[in-house]
Amino acid sequence: MTLSSSGPELFDIQEDTRDIEHPVFHVKYRSNSTGTLESLQDVPDKLPVIKILGTGGTIASKGSTAFQTAGYHVDLTIEHLISTIPDLSSTCELHFEQVFNLDSKEITTKELLELKAKTQEALDNHDGVVITHGTDTCEETAFFLEATLDFKDKPVVICGSMRPSTSVSADGPSNLYQACVVAADKQSCGRGVLVTLNDKIGSGYYITKSDANSLDSFKSLGHGYLGNFVNNEVHYYFPPVHPTGRMSFKTSLFDNTLPEVIILYAHQSFNNDLIKLAVEQIKVAGIVMATMGAGSLSDNTNEYLGNLSAKYGLPIIYSKRSMDGMVPRGSMPKKNNTHLIAGGYLNPQKSRILLQLCLNAGMDIKRIRKAFRGVYGG
């Protein structure tokens, strides 16, 4: 190493091309080629310790060819995924655990509760948590964790990928790397669950999968992104804050199950017998309607829902088919509406989870309505 005699104290390090075994996880990295004494002084004495929880999904999948982007299968563990990401030795210390290894369409309440318990345990013993997850139901897991975790002012970051690991330009390694950097950044504290893919950082409370195929799939149109990842830097647009209306539900109330709530998708010539079947045969505890427009259902369906919900004391949430926008209270039926609740800004899948949590907490219809007023529904 040679120090310059004048100007900034710069030093040159010849690039070391030898592979070095990472001391914490199974990644090989190489020494940096240049640096400054000032940059060395910026490195903290103790790096943040980040726990990665693997759950499967496309990010852990392999296809039969480099061009297959459909019909692939989950085949990689979290240890395999970590071995694909760049050097993080100056950013954080990584621990990892495989919670389960499933396509996210196979995740049930059982796996959701298990992941919640593992995430809480990781928060209790680490500085942040990263969860690898399938993109198909990522937004549901993110919303559930947002409502049930004791964050202890620590970041929880969910990432995934739209292409399998074997695909040309697979996005998984980059997304996982970015999630780890985001979780290790102090700016990420106090923001709840974050979802980071394709250089974007969004709130798990509102973000949703908007495209079945594109890399730039996760959007939060009306609410915006929280930040961006550029040139290995984490940029936030706003100071830390949790989403408006966020409720916290105690974990002690969970008993390996949640009340049965289903989603019915409204359309022209909707068959009201589906509602009767759900209530009288399936014995659901609540229904979410994916309505047309901002809470629109036919007069006949509105009347049917009003009568049936009042008879069985069943909460009915009016959500919307469209990705953006909301269902305001002003859109609700004006008659026989004692158990009909506007879903506000929540989409059907997130409305379902909030209703499940409310019912599991033993809330009556008045308190459930108040919970949805937090997202400008009710």
- Catalytic residue positions? 58
Q: Which amino acid is at 142?
A: A
What's the token pair of residue 17?
């091309």
Question: What's CA 39's distance to the chain center, in Å?
Answer: 34
Residues comprising the binding site for substrate?
104, 135-136
The DSSP-derived string for 304-351 is HHHHHHHHHT--EEEEESSSSS-B-GGGS-SSS-TTEEE-BT--HHHH
Positive or negative torsion for Cα 359, 286, 221, 167? positive
Q: Give me the helix-helix angle, 138-148 and 348-360, nearest 10°.
A: 30
CB 256 within 8 A of CB 115: no
Q: What angle, rounded to 10 degrees, do the helices at 299-312 and 273-280 form?
A: 10
* Cα separation values, 323 from 289, 300, 350, 374, 375, Å: 14, 25, 12, 19, 15
Instruction: Point out the annotated binding site.
Output: 104, 135-136
Per-residue tokens: 245: 């209306």
